[in-house]
Amino acid sequence: MTEIRRGVPADIPGIAAIYDRILTEEEAGRASVGWVRGVYPTEASAREALEAGELFVMAEEGVLTAAALTYVAALIQSLAQLLRLMILVGGRRRND
């Protein structure tokens, strides 16, 4: 049976595993989602969404098959990750 529900702390490792599989496909050129390993999404971004009440999961027979953030949470996290990346890149340029 398919279940869609709010995420709980016990879901985080499964969500991180889903992110890892998608990122591996992206890196191998078999998918194009625009994610960057270590930048977004991360286990930390899933935890942030969970704490904000914005994390949802889908499970089949009790096994996680998908995870999603609500639009507002996803937008905020994307902007925060972009800012972090800009700071990281900007810091490297100053040190070159």
Question: 34 vs 25, 26, 28, 66, 67, CA distance in Å?
Answer: 11, 8, 13, 17, 17
Of 44, 45, 70, which Cα lies nearest the Cα of 57?
A: 70
pLDDT above 70 covers a percentage of the chain that reads 85
User: Residue 95: what pLDDT?
Assistant: 47
User: Residue 94: what pLDDT?
Assistant: 47
For the record, the structure tokens of 53 come out as 């009440």
Indicate whether 62 pLDDT > 90. no
Against a cut of 0.75, is the pTM above it?
no
User: Residue 87: what pLDDT?
Assistant: 78
User: Residue 74: what pLDDT?
Assistant: 65
User: Residue 79: what pLDDT?
Assistant: 74
DSSP H/E element including 74: helix 71-95
